[in-house]
Amino acid sequence: MYDIIVLGGGPAGLTAGLYGARAKLKTLVIEKGIEGGQISNTTEVDNYPGIEKINGTDLAVTMRKQCENFGAEFSYDEVVEVDLKGDIKKIRTANESYESKTVIIASGQEPRKIGCPGEEEFVGKGISYCATCDAAFYEGLDVYVIGGGDAAIDEALFISKFAKNIYVVHRRDELRASKSLQERALANKKFHFIWDSVVEEIRGDKTAKELVLRNIKTNEVTEIKKDEPFGIFVFIGYLPETEIFKGQVEMQKGYIPTDEEMRTNLKGVFAAGDLRVKSVRQVVTAASDGAIAAVTAEKYIAEKEGHLYQGFKEESEA
C-alpha cells in the first residue's frame, strides 16, 4: 500500500515524487519510458530558474536522484488498467499491481508526429516540438515550421526572433491560424510559405540535413538540402496521454481540468503537468503543478486519517 502513486516521470511527476517522498510518504513513480518526458529530447534547457544551461536528460536524471535520495521508489513499466473511484486506488501495470491512498496523474502529452521516415531518428537532432526550448539554437539559421494553425504560427513568430528565415510548410493553401496571427506572419519579412505540401521524409546522418516535401495537389516532390544546419519545428497538435483514465476522470477534449490545488473530480486523485487544462506548458509550470499536487495529496491523507496537517507550518518554519 502506497501513500502516493505518481503516474508519469516527467518534470511534473518527478517533482510530485520529490515532494511526496520528502514529506515521509510512501511514494512510487511509474514511468513507461525514461524519466524526463519531453525534456529528455531537448539538447539544452536554458530557461529553468537557477540553472543557466543543462542537457534535458541530465536535468531529468538529477530530478530522479533527488526523489530517490528522499526515498521515492521507481517502476519503469506501462500502466494498463486503473480503478480510481474507490478510497483505495488500484493500478495495474504490464508486470505488477499496486494500491495507493492517492494518485497523481502526470502522464503528460505527446506532440502529434508527422509520421514520416526519419522523424524518430532525428528528434533532438534537428527536429523539435518546442520553440521555447530550442529556438535559440537556430540563431541566424533557416527554420522550417510544419503546420498552419494558431500554435504553429505563434511558435513561428517566436522562432523568428532567432532564425534567419522561417519557411512555413502547410498542407492547405491558406493558414488556419487566427487573423491577427496571420497578419503578423504575413507582415514579417522573414516568413515564406510552402502551400499544399506535406513532409514525406527527413534525411541526414548525425543531424537532419535533408527535408523531402510533396505537393498534395500536383504530387511534385521537392528535396531541400542546405550546406549549413537548419531546424524543423513540428506544430500539428498535441495528444494528451489520458486515454486510460476516460470514464473515471472528468476531461475536456482529453485534458484533465483541476482546481488550483490540482484536485480532479475524484477524491484522492490529482493531476499535474501538461495534461491539465492550462495555458502555459513549460518545465517550470509542470514542476509547480507537481509540487502543489503532492502537498495537496499529503493534506488529503492527513485529513482522511484524522491527523493534524502540519506541512505548511513546517515548510514556513524551515
**Catalytic (active site) residue 133:** yes
48: cell is: 529553468
Catalytic residue among 3, 67, 133, 289: 133
CA distance 318 to 13: 24
CA distances from 147 to 54, 203, 235, 254, 261 (A): 29, 19, 5, 21, 34
CA distance 241 to 253: 12
CA distance 294 to 300: 10
For residue 191, give the nearest of 158, 220, 157 by alpha carbon: 157
Catalytic residue among 3, 134, 274, 289: 134
Alpha helices in the chain (DSSP H): 11-22, 56-69, 131-134, 150-159, 179-187, 283-304, 311-317
For residue 198, give the nearest of 147, 150, 159 by alpha carbon: 147
Catalytic residue among 3, 77, 116, 130: 130
**Catalytic (active site) residue 67:** no
CA distance 240 to 247: 15
**Catalytic (active site) residue 130:** yes
- DSSP assignment of 254-268 equals TBBP--TT-B-SSTT
Residue 180 one-letter amino acid: S
Residues 257/250, Cβ–Cβ less than 8 Å: yes
Residues 168/194, Cβ–Cβ less than 8 Å: yes
Q: Which residues are catalytic?
A: 130, 133-134
